[in-house]
Structure 1
Amino acid sequence: MNRSEALEIVKESIARVIPDPDFTALGPDDAFRDALEMDSLDFLGFVEALSERTGIRIEDEDAPELTTLSTSATFLIAHTT
């Protein structure tokens, strides 16, 4: 998986729990939970969607690596190679 594919998967997973997210206002290192006003249930839904989409088992301790578009993409790349 390359970085572009990983970013697209992250965005698709966010879009499954947040209707019409505005990614144009979201930088790669911005905390998307704050920027997109995701509550804890939304974030859990995002993690589940990401796991389903990729087949990667995501543990609770992985959550800090899933806070920005950039770190989420890096996490996916690291766990698919």
Structure 2
Amino acid sequence: MNSQVVRNEVLRALKGIAPEVEVEQLHTDRLLREEVDLDSMDWLRFIEALNRSLGVAIPEADYREVDTLDRLIAYLGQRRQSGADGPSSQT
């Protein structure tokens, strides 16, 4: 799965959680939760939506690795390539 497909899925999931966000206006190098004002429940719903759509679990320990849009897309792309997918058994 290429990075554009991952990006599209991330933006689709983000619009599902925060429909008021204009994704074209996002700064991809800024903290995502602050950029779109996601509270902790919105963040968890967003992460779950990505798990469902891309099949990649993001454990809580990795949240700092996915704090910007750029880093999130890179993380998901790398995990998809390495085959680290599916719901986490750490729940």
Indicate whether the TM-score tops 0.5: yes
Q: Identify the residue that residue 11 of structure 1 maps to in structure 2.
A: 11
Q: Unpaired segments of 5 or more residues in structure 2?
A: 82-91
- Within-5 A mapping of 1:38-53: 38-53=38-53
RMSD: 1.2
CA distance in 1, matches of 2:8, 2:30: 16
Q: Any gaps of 5 or more consecutive residues in structure 1? A: none
Moved >4 Å (runs of 4+): none
In 1: Cα distance, 2:64 partner to 2:13 partner? 17
TM-score for both structures, normalised by structure 1: 0.90
**Which of the pair has the greater relative contact order for Cα pairs under 8 Å at 6+ separation?**
1
For 1:71 and 1:34, how far apart are their aligned partners in 2? 15
Tell me how far 1:36 sits from its aligned partner: 0.9
- Provide the C-alpha distance between the structure 2 equivalents of 1:16 and 1:66, rounded to a whole number of angstroms: 18
Percent identical across equivalent pairs? 27
